[in-house]
Amino acid sequence: MNKIAYYPGCSGQGTSEEYDRSSRAICKALGIDLVDIPDWSCCGSTPAHTVNHVLSAALSARNLALVEGMGLDTVTTPCPSCLTNLRTAAHKMENPEFRAKVNALLDVPCTKTIEAQSVLQILTENVDMTLIKSRVVKPLTGIKIACYYGCIMNRPPELMRFDHHENPMAMDNIMTALGAEVVPYPLKVECCGASFGIARGDIVARLSGKLLDAGRRLGADAFVTACPLCQMNLDMRQGQINDALHENFKIPVFYYTQLLGYALGLDRADLGFEKLCVDPRLALGRIKQPAQAS
Amino acid sequence: MQIFDLATADLDFIAEVEARSHQNVKNCYQCGNCTAGCPYNFAYDYSVSQIMRLIQTGQKEAVLKSRSLWLCGSCQSCTTRCPNNIDVATIMDVCRHMAREQGYATERNVKLFSDAFLHSVEKHGRAYELGLMTEYMTRSGRVFTDVDLAPTVLMRGKLPFKPHPIQGREQVTRIFERFRKGGINE
Ligand code: SF4
Ligand code: SF4
């Protein structure tokens, strides 16, 4: 496959380092050739677009211009928030007037339309599921999983153009292919409380608490997510949620890339299970060992 | 029920929201779909369809002073489900831009967090999580924000102690400088 520019996003160097690491590892294992964008900068995340749309687009466009400079036309990122910003910027800059306003803020103008896709989309659309199945060495048999996509991976559909905006299936299909039992999770695209964890923890406790509760009622042993913010709210803040709601949730929350890497038998060091806050062994222990060890 | 005296409608406000969001607010027929799907509705002072109504009737003060603008999580549910294809989330965004510009900040800590985040980007080129938390705690006076998480987070090496400076950080700083000089409304 052609080379794809890779944008890790700021959280990939901090709170979601294990997502970055495992995303790289599975892409490598499945033959997707990622090339790091040299000297990438922050896309501005949610704060930028709540201040001004041209500023927000310019922070993304500096990176799109770098991709253009690499001679590539597609960029991929694991983070849905970065993805939204990169896609929105690229889309809005199809309007020459808007592009001119953005370029006026940049040292190096962005002149091409660069396509931004999530790593999940790249995987889904470029890797044959039968290939994934054939590479599974540790099937996830015995574990029950709730797939949680978060609010903006697929919305709004006109912009994101990937999977279904009310009932996405990309992660469900991957997990099923790996041998896990996927529960019919109804809150796939509900919001977890986004970046309000710090300023309004009460809101995150309520919204993420609802997500955990629904997973528990369905008997899920674990969640898989594709978003650093969702993962952080559900996993790192699970203790705070328990305190606020007088609950006792203890549900591990994985990045889908970690479980995919696990099933493919990738090096544990690349999967970063030790970074998770709720002990992942609670769920990994459910996985049945193959009857005959080879 | 709230009664609007249409003589008090601020027509310039309606026009400005429409121009900056590229949306036609007159298309809203108050079906309430946006509100029904809004996960933050419980925390809002005006529901999102009420905000739409307030805009249609030119109630500028009420809109810009509302807490809802600051509590919107940009989850895109309203935009996705509006039967009239109104990009409601963008309208919320644009109203928040205007509230900011005109000095309203009814959820002070939400604004402080955004500011701290953007300062971090302006200074380092990338968001430096530990640094932005420190700035947020200093400015909000909420020194105990998330201290309960410190052992967990530090033990797992989730927060680097130093920013990752990038070569192009001055280019990023210049984006902010030019933006402030430019007086851009969008
Ligand atoms: S969903 Fe659309 S039409 Fe219905 S109330 Fe909301 S903005 Fe108005
Ligand atoms: S984008 Fe904002 S207003 Fe719209 S549904 Fe989500 S939180 Fe509510």
The DSSP bridge partners found for residue A35 are A5
Taking only the tens of pLDDT, chain A with its 294 residues reads: 579 999 999 888 878 899 999 999 999 999 999 999 999 999 988 889 989 999 999 999 999 999 999 999 999 999 999 999 999 999 999 999 999 999 999 999 999 999 999 999 999 999 999 999 999 999 999 999 999 999 999 999 999 999 999 999 999 999 999 999 999 999 999 999 988 988 899 999 999 999 999 999 999 999 999 999 999 999 999 999 999 999 999 999 999 999 999 999 999 999 999 999 999 998 999 998 766 544
CB contact under 8 A, A10 and B167: no
Q: How far is the CA of B70 from the centre of ligand 1 (A)?
A: 19
CB contact under 8 A, A198 and B171: no
User: What does pTM read for this prediction?
Assistant: 0.93
Indicate the average pLDDT of chain B: 89
Q: Band the pLDDT of B160: cuts 50, 70, 90.
A: low
Please enumerate in sequence order all residues whose Cβ is within 8 A of that of B155, keeping only pairs 6 or more positions apart, or say none.
none
What local confidence, expressed as pLDDT, does residue B147 receive? Answer: 74
Residue B61, pLDDT > 50, answer yes
The two beta strands, A222-225 and A34-36, are unpaired
To the nearest whole angstrom, how far is the Cα of B178 from the nearest Cα of chain A?
A: 6
* Ligand index nearest the alpha carbon of residue B68: 2
Percent over 70 (pLDDT), chain B: 92
Asked if omega into A8 is within 30° of 0 (cis), the reply is no
Q: Band the pLDDT of B100: cuts 50, 70, 90.
A: very high
What local confidence, expressed as pLDDT, does residue A291 receive? Answer: 60
CB contact under 8 A, A101 and B166: no
Report the number of secondary-structure helices (H) and strands (E) in chain B: 11, 0
DSSP-derived secondary structure for B106-151: SSHHHHHHHHHHHHHHHHHSS--HHHHHHHHHHHH--TTTTGGGHH
Q: Which residues line ligand 1 (CB under 6 A)?
A: B 28-34, 49, 52, 82-84, 86, 88
Q: How far is the CA of B84 from the centre of ligand 1 (A)?
A: 7
What local confidence, expressed as pLDDT, does residue B149 receive? Answer: 78
What local confidence, expressed as pLDDT, does residue A150 receive? Answer: 96
Contacts of B146 in chain A (CB under 8 A): 197-198
Report the number of secondary-structure helices (H) and strands (E) in chain A: 14, 8
For atom 8 of ligand 2, the residue with the nearest CA is B38
Q: How far is the CA of A179 from the centre of ligand 2 (A)?
A: 36
For atom 6 of ligand 2, the residue with the nearest CA is B75
Please enumerate in sequence order all residues whose Cβ is within 8 A of that of A107, keeping only pairs 6 or more positions apart, or say none.
B171, B174
Phi, psi dihedrals of residue A176, rounded to the nearest 5° = -65, -45
What local confidence, expressed as pLDDT, does residue A294 receive? Answer: 46
Cα A186 versus chain centre, distance = 19
What local confidence, expressed as pLDDT, does residue B124 receive? Answer: 87
Q: Which atom of ligand 1 is nearest to the CA of B33?
A: 1
